Amino acid sequence: MKSGIIILGHGSRSENAQQVFEEIVTLVSEKLNYGTVKGAAMEFASPTLEEVAAGLVEDGLERIIIVPLFIYPGVHIKRDIPAMIDRLKEEYPEIRFVQGSHIGAEEKLAEIMADRVQQAAENSVRNWNN
């Protein structure tokens, strides 16, 4: 079964935010053994989930795994994304759409945050001494 991945972000009008999102998608792609890993935005940016899914269907993919780049299980995770995927299933009944889990409380995320705290503490000491 020919599969592809869509990393689904919230989306932002900020070019800087879009660039960071694209970098994350590239980093994820480099870690996976999938030929196709794309990024999509729920709102405020392009390409949208619908646009990316249409392109993957056109490319002949049979299974599309949609993984949200969200930390919390809020309304987008609980309601909006499932509704978007349901609409895709209706439009492309021959394609298997799978929703992955949001990030949630993860040890790796805690390690990143601890690093950021340490960096901020070190910077504040350096700035205080200058």
CATH of the domain at 86: 3.40.50.1400
Handedness of CA 42, 48, 52, 55 (dihedral sign): positive
Is 113 inside any structural domain? Answer: no
Asked whether residue 22 is domain-assigned, the answer is yes
Q: How far is CA 24 from CA 4, 48, 110, in A?
A: 16, 17, 18
Q: What is the pLDDT of residue 129?
A: 63
In a domain, 119, yes or no: no
Tell whether 56 is covered by a domain. yes
With respect to residue 18, please indicate whether it lies within any of the assigned structural domains: yes
**What digits encode the pLDDT tens for the residues 17-66?**
999 999 999 999 999 988 899 999 999 999 999 999 999 999 999 999 99
- Whole-angstrom Cα distance, residue 17 to residue 85? 24
Residue-number span of the structural domain to which 19 is assigned? 3-104
Q: Which amino acid is at 111?
A: E
Assigned domain for 111 exists: no
pLDDT of residue 45: 96
Task: Transcribe 20-33 into DSSP letters.
Answer: HHHHHHHHHHHHS-
For 76-124, what is each residue's pLDDT tens digit? 999 999 999 999 999 999 999 999 999 999 999 999 999 999 999 998 7
Q: Please name the residue that has the structure tokens 């960071």.
A: 20
- The reported pLDDT for the residue numbered 1 is 86
Does the residue 115 lie in any domain?
A: no
The contacts of residue 84 (CB under 8 Å, 6+ apart) are 42, 49, 50
Give dist(CA 68, CA 10) in Å, integer: 8
Provide CB contacts within 8 A for 44, sequence distance 6+. Answer: 10, 11, 12, 13
Classify residue 20: in a domain, yes or no: yes
Question: What's the domain count of the chain?
Answer: 1
Give the pLDDT confidence score for residue 28 in this predicted structure.
97
